[in-house]
Structure 1
Amino acid sequence: MKEAKKALCITISLGAVLAGAAVTAVLLWKFMENKCSVSGIECGSSGTCISPSHWCDGVLHCPSGEDENRCVRLYGPNFILQVYSAQRKSWHPVCQDDWSDSYGRAACQDMGYRNSFYSSQGIVDDSGASSFMKLNTSAGNTDLYKKLYHSDICASKTVVSLRCIECGVAGKTMRQSRIVGGSSASPGDWPWQVSLHVQGTHVCGGSIITPEWIVTAAHCVEEPLNNPRYWTVFAGVLRQSFMFYGHGYRVGKVISHPSYDSKTKNNDIALMKLQTPLTFSDKVKPVCLPNPGMMLEPNQSCWISGWGATHEKGKTSDELNAVMVPLIEPWRCNSKYVYNSLVTPAMICAGYLRGGTDSCQALAMRGAEAGDARAALRERPRGLFRQLVAGAEGDSGGPLVTLKSRIWWLIGDTSWGSGCAKANRPGVYGNVTVFTDWIYRQMRANS
């Protein structure tokens, strides 16, 4: 009898060990399968993971150098396709000779535009390039980048202009309106504007850049709001009161800039990836990401939009508002009478130094009050959310756009400011022109 019990105990123990080993093996396999999902991008067959920031930076990090082999970007307002040469450590336009849409689709995919392609055509190069990347049509390999070689001659004298997505197209009724100092928008005026909700409350704004990706501010998604399950995105709806009846989109992933500083608001940009893609229409369209080489004027006319307060310490607006604000040169914004060197190259200022027109930043509480509210949300996320956004002024993360070459470009996301529409206290925005490459890398790594 004792021997039978002993045998049974041994059998049960052995079974438990084997079950534990099986679970461990499954978890390990899952970890190995997704090991680059958090830490970076996988280097092809080698399995090495590298940070997305090391992709296309001119330095070989992967054993076979694949991190520098598929580096593409769009340059200037005409979307000139450029490919990075690791050999020459510089960007070069692609000659139109023998180019086809199939190559354009491949380049778009490598920028993170999954299954998205709009147009590809030859235009006169205005970047002043003296050397081109040219297709070797006799090369047997089908890989686009292995077909490209350096050439000082481009027979067609035109370079590839590539549009991966039809973006920056808005309605025809462009009225000067807004926020603090403006009036309500009309349907289709700002079709890229979205409202970001947590538990039925508008918290921040955002901008559509693809059917799956939204640009917003990093300070909107500080912990604990970095959890995607808190967020719902509403697109194509102008009134907050109508969003309760509309269809919201769930967020699948929140990616904040790794160098975001919550104290200084430096690098204040974040991305949200939707669980299901948006359906584009006259009221729902993407804005264009700014390309390097845009050459904005010092006082370029821009527009801001949002559901923020229409006066300081006021409630968020039920209607979407928008208004024109000019850019303010960095040296002027950093003067001792304005923000006294608080504006970094990753920020831009826009508005009027005399005051009167501005965006109102969301999550406007400062210091201990904001910290206490976030701690409360961490403990009881449903019950005390409204305490967190008490006094929130709702424009944060929303777009600062400009019209250039008949296209609307996203050049800023609403970040911070001292109050709303005060003299010598203009709005400060995340400088999206600095973050375009980072955005493409995230889209590519998380496609």
Structure 2
Amino acid sequence: MTTSPYLDSGSCFIGEDVERNLPPADGSDVQPQYVHHMAPKPPPEISSKHEGVKQRCVKFTVAAVICLLLLTLITGILLVYYFSSPCAHGRRCGDGSCVWESQWCDGEKDCPAGQDEASCVRLHGSSFLLQVYWTQGRTWRSVCSQDWSEQQGRASCQQVGYSRDTYFESGQQPTDADDGFLILKSDFNTTAPIMHQLVLSKTCHNNSVVTLHCTDCGRGLNSSRASGEQQAPPWQVSLRVGVSHRCGGAIISPYWILTAAHCVTWTSGAAEWLVYVGVVHLSDTLFNPAYSVSRIITHEGFNSITRGNDIALMRLSKPLHITASSDIGAVCLPNVGVYASAPEKGWITEFSRFVNTAAPHLMEAQVLLVDAANCNRSTSHSGKITPDIFCASATDAGMCHTDSGGPLVSLKDGVWWLIGDNIWGEHCKEPNRPGVYGNVTYFLDWIYHQMKKHQDG
């Protein structure tokens, strides 16, 4: 009998005890091997993970809803602010309050201090072109000369800031205006603000628009005057306390004198001051009448240390008599569009003296305007030059500065313009440090506002 090699080999691994422990042949109690590898995950774990996913979904949904509500709320607040706050699409008055854009220059004072109607009429360029701010188009427009009268001229000058009784003349000039003109209404009310008297028109007879001279200014001085000539310009004044000369100044209208703020801050009141016109020698006052001062207005932002906003106005008790034949005249405030820049020439007049001469007397010198960047160099004024001031160097280094407030004027298109008032600097002592002047153009709005505010004294 042949024995199987597989059984023989198998008998080496299976003994008697193993045979006794074998399971029954029917297989009813047979358990699969490696059960722990094939069994499904317990039901409690599956339920827990499903609940975690659900919770996260709920939390995400709640967060999304909250974010959406917050976004809607913020959008609503912004919309309410936009439609309820005039400053969102209007203008600020200057005291924190606001008015709608449509209320600006509409002829009605809506700002507490009237800022919305303060600068709605202006003169432009060397031709003194009258322009009115038109709210509907948010632009400046020329005024058609058709049906224009001296009455409208006086009212417009008063709107700028001049007194009615100092009005000089209206004129006209041809111009092109593709965007239209402002023209007088047929039923205008002469007592109403000029903005109420105008309507927009696409046409104007002969395209002729209004020019306006609110005071006779900028004339009566030869442009070829020699440096150092002893002749007082018609607008030059000597400001005195008693018999003592304190500062120079310039006539800008029959009622108003412009000077430096530091000249007047040390005195107690306007009654102390006297104004002399046409003075060449400081001792020569016998044939020059004195004019009293009713009000002094110093710029509210004046800083005596830095000399910032160093500008002041004096209002005379009675107007000066300015005529074509008079030696008294006003220098023009620079209209919008009239600019002076380096290296243009200008002229200064001040009560000064040449080196080694005796008593101060009125002198004139030509100056060259200096670029602010150059004037702010470390070798000059070391960054002290701000937009409200500028520099000019005298071409005659022998002229010494001894007083303040004197005018710096410029000649353009045959008109003399006041572009600066003397603040500080000594030309003869420090030639690398040019004189410093208040920038009159920078202060135009302030000047006109004060003149308008104090038209009645």
**How many percent identity over aligned positions?**
38
Higher RCO (C-alpha 8 Å, min separation 6): 1
Give the aligned partner of residue 176 of structure 1. 226
- Checking the alignment, whether the CA contact within 8 Å between 1:397 and 1:415 is kept in structure 2 is yes
Separation in structure 2 between the aligned mates of residue 264 and residue 109 of structure 1, nearest angstrom? 34
Aligned runs of 1:251-290 on 2, under 5 Å? 251-280=293-322, 282-290=326-334
Give the aligned partner of residue 90 of structure 1. 139
Give the aligned partner of residue 339 of structure 2. 295
Give the aligned partner of residue 116 of structure 1. 166
Give the aligned partner of residue 452 of structure 2. 444
Does residue 212 of structure 1 match 2:262? Answer: no
- Checking the alignment, whether the CA contact within 8 Å between 1:356 and 1:422 is kept in structure 2 is no
Cα deviation 1:4-31 (Å, max 9, x = unaligned): xxxxxxxxxxxxxxxxxxxxxxxxxxxx
Separation in structure 2 between the aligned mates of residue 423 and residue 250 of structure 1, nearest angstrom? 38
Cα deviation 1:112-142 (Å, max 9, x = unaligned): 322122221221348x773432222245675
Separation in structure 2 between the aligned mates of residue 51 and residue 256 of structure 1, nearest angstrom? 19
Give how far 1:84 is off. Answer: 2.0
Give the aligned partner of residue 35 of structure 2. none
Q: How many residue pairs were aligned? A: 353
Give the aligned partner of residue 26 of structure 1. none
State the one-letter code of the partner of 2:267.
L
State the one-letter code of the partner of 2:417.
W
Give the aligned partner of residue 7 of structure 2. none
Separation in structure 1 between the aligned mates of residue 204 and residue 222 of structure 2, nearest angstrom? 39
- Secondary structure at the aligned position of 1:241 is classed as coil
Give how far 1:152 is off. Answer: 4.2
TM-score, normalised with respect to structure 2:
0.70
Give the aligned partner of residue 240 of structure 2. 197
Does residue 99 of structure 1 match 2:148? Answer: yes
With over 3 angstroms needed to count, the CA separation of the structure-2 counterparts of 1:411 and 1:278, relative to structure 1, is same
With over 3 angstroms needed to count, the CA separation of the structure-2 counterparts of 1:355 and 1:341, relative to structure 1, is farther
Moved over 6 A (4+): 50-59
Aligned runs of 1:353-372 on 2, under 5 Å? 356=397, 360=401
1:399 to 393, 407, 419: 407
State the one-letter code of the partner of 1:121.
G
- Checking the alignment, whether the CA contact within 8 Å between 2:277 and 2:288 is kept in structure 1 is no
Cα deviation 1:305-346 (Å, max 9, x = unaligned): 01124349x8761x3110111111222212222112211111
Give the aligned partner of residue 137 of structure 1. 186
- Checking the alignment, whether the CA contact within 8 Å between 2:353 and 2:399 is kept in structure 1 is no
State the one-letter code of the partner of 2:367.
V
Cα deviation 1:59-95 (Å, max 9, x = unaligned): 7594489653472111111111111234444322222
Separation in structure 2 between the aligned mates of residue 306 and residue 195 of structure 1, nearest angstrom? 9
Instruction: In structure 2, list runs of 5 or more residues that go unmatched.
Output: 1-92
State the one-letter code of the partner of 1:441.
H
1:68 to 116, 124, 128: 116
Give the aligned partner of residue 79 of structure 1. 128
Give the aligned partner of residue 424 of structure 2. 416
Give how far 1:171 is off. Answer: 3.5
Give the aligned partner of residue 345 of structure 1. 387
State the one-letter code of the partner of 1:356.
A
- Secondary structure at the aligned position of 1:252 is classed as strand
Give how far 1:192 is off. Answer: 0.4
- Secondary structure at the aligned position of 1:345 is classed as coil
- Secondary structure at the aligned position of 2:447 is classed as helix
- Secondary structure at the aligned position of 1:351 is classed as strand
Separation in structure 2 between the aligned mates of residue 305 and residue 57 of structure 1, nearest angstrom? 46
**More displaced 10-residue stretch of structure 1: 54-63 or 204-213:** 54-63
Separation in structure 1 between the aligned mates of residue 268 and residue 99 of structure 2, nearest angstrom? 27
Cα deviation 1:217-276 (Å, max 9, x = unaligned): 001012x32511221110122221112564211111100111111111111110001112
Give how far 1:154 is off. Answer: 3.3
- Secondary structure at the aligned position of 1:156 is classed as helix
With over 3 angstroms needed to count, the CA separation of the structure-2 counterparts of 1:124 and 1:53, relative to structure 1, is farther
TM-score, normalised with respect to structure 1:
0.71
Give the aligned partner of residue 371 of structure 2. 329
With over 3 angstroms needed to count, the CA separation of the structure-2 counterparts of 1:135 and 1:192, relative to structure 1, is same
Give how far 1:423 is off. Answer: 2.1
With over 3 angstroms needed to count, the CA separation of the structure-2 counterparts of 1:197 and 1:87, relative to structure 1, is same
Separation in structure 1 between the aligned mates of residue 319 and residue 215 of structure 2, nearest angstrom? 14
Separation in structure 1 between the aligned mates of residue 95 and residue 421 of structure 2, nearest angstrom? 22
Separation in structure 1 between the aligned mates of residue 97 and residue 129 of structure 2, nearest angstrom? 23
Cα deviation 1:267-287 (Å, max 9, x = unaligned): 111000111222235321111
1:233 to 248, 251, 275: 275
Aligned runs of 1:423-438 on 2, under 5 Å? 423-438=431-446
- Secondary structure at the aligned position of 1:436 is classed as helix
Cα deviation 1:161-209 (Å, max 9, x = unaligned): 10111111124374222xxxxx2422xx511000011121111000011
Separation in structure 2 between the aligned mates of residue 97 and residue 425 of structure 1, nearest angstrom? 53
Give how far 1:418 is off. Answer: 5.4
- Secondary structure at the aligned position of 2:207 is classed as coil
Separation in structure 2 between the aligned mates of residue 418 and residue 95 of structure 1, nearest angstrom? 49
Give the aligned partner of residue 305 of structure 1. 349
With over 3 angstroms needed to count, the CA separation of the structure-2 counterparts of 1:403 and 1:56, relative to structure 1, is farther
Q: RMSD across aligned C-alpha pairs, in angstroms?
A: 3.1
Separation in structure 2 between the aligned mates of residue 55 and residue 103 of structure 1, nearest angstrom? 30
